[in-house]
Amino acid sequence: MDGSYDVVIIGSGPGGYVAGIRAAQLGLKTAVIEREWAGGVCLNVGCIPTKAMLRSAEVLDTMRESEKYGVLADNVRLDYGKVVQRREQVVQGLRKGVETLLKANGVELISGTATLAGRGQVQVAGKNGSGAVQARNLVIATGSRPASLPIPGADTPGVINSDQALELKEPPRSVLVLGGGAVGCEWANIFRSFGAEVTVVEMLPTLLPLEDEDMGKTLQRIFQKRGITVHTGATLQRIEDGPDGGKRSTIAWPDGRTQQVDSEIVLIGVGRKPNSDGLNLEAVGVRPNQRGFIEVDDHLRAGDGVYAIGDVVGKALLAHVASHQGIVAVENIAGQDVAMDYKAVPGVTFTHPEVASVGLSEAKAREQGYEVLVGRFPFAALGRAQTYGETDGMVKIVAEKRYEQVLGVHIIGPSAGEMIHEAVLAINLEATLEDLITTIHAHPTLPEGIGEVAMAALGRPIHIARARR
């Protein structure tokens, strides 16, 4: 520890380490304090390891169906140990990459647990002893952790959260997943590909309740076609010990119906809790709200000389939002006047197929008083999707009727997470349907669907039949 810094960042996740690098670029003497791993939850027990496992699941599914592509593969099977080994190699490589980037930019990475001791005062307790650092500015980037739920039996053996799912030595034979959001659906996808019997329970009427309704309904149909049982509009009433050392879960519906489901394990993939406790935030005049999130303004200020970014803020619990917030926060510290704008934040759920979106759903647009134009275009009508052999899904667009400005784009299908960025740029630049139509898309590609859906919204589609009026 080198005593005094212009900026001290607590947490080295995708918000913290990016903020550290940008601060150093701006000439600020910077330190990042990390109590566990460089790269934070996203890199170590979140985004990256789960995507590595999803890739293994995707390869396994493709190999099982290779005959339809004219490729004969015998004795296709899963080696879970090698799946985990590859996953850890990816994580370790990226973790070292973060450490190298911080060092290359002159950012000091301090290992230990930080506690605030007053304005600009940070106590650090580490394996090699304790010490103190002083900072003209603080950035809180401590992230979040899986939340526990008040369900009877949720704290018993065999009930795990998304972090603990990575600790499994072998895939379960059966699993009940509580939560039909991104986390729950991704794990349901992984376990099903690895051979488990999977049941998903979601309290709201559709899967992916934060997405456009058509996305959740389409994903449910695809999941059910893959043999995943989906219960929407249902709650998990209690979890008990079941036969053969497993769990017995009671599912309930508002009309009084109940059903019991036996599974080897139960995975709770609902909710996250901000890591704001234990920091002694009161010492710098910051009080989290009732949910534990730190409230900030558009410049990410939480108090005098104190900024907060990422999950601990609760605006959007997404790694890429945390990274952007980190840049905005330290640019303001450096004297620039930069505000956060959340109108064009993409979200991706890495199921098979992927789901991606940006902007307003159809329902949200109508709720906000817009008269809308809506277009839908199926992947089955794209030549590239046909050659892929993956034709499930659609592209959906929502536009304001008077000026035809794009309000939202929603995609479920192969490579949706890659396709969405054209739509992000369109919304950021306040593009119209005509702007998308007059943008020439290469053929045959999946992003042709963006131009096609814009034409469909205006009632002049080319590659699907025009709806009769």
Give the C-alpha separation, 29 to 104, whole Å. 13
Residues 6+ apart with CB under 8 A from 283: 116, 117, 118, 119, 121
DSSP codes joined into one string, 76-116: ----HHHHHHHHHHHHHHHHHHHHHHHHHTT-EEEESEEEE
Give the C-alpha separation, 211 to 154, whole Å. 27
Sheet holding 265-268, edge to edge: 159-161, 265-268, 174-178, 197-202, 229-232
Find the angle CA(329)-CA(332)-CA(333) to the nearest 5 degrees: 85
SS3 224: helix
Residues with a catalytic annotation lie at: 443
Beta strands in 203-292 (DSSP E): 229-232, 235-241, 247-252, 258-263, 265-268, 272-274
Give the C-alpha separation, 380 to 18, whole Å. 40
Which amino acid belongs to residue 329? A
Helix orientation angle between 182-193 and 47-64, rounded to the nearest 10 degrees: 40
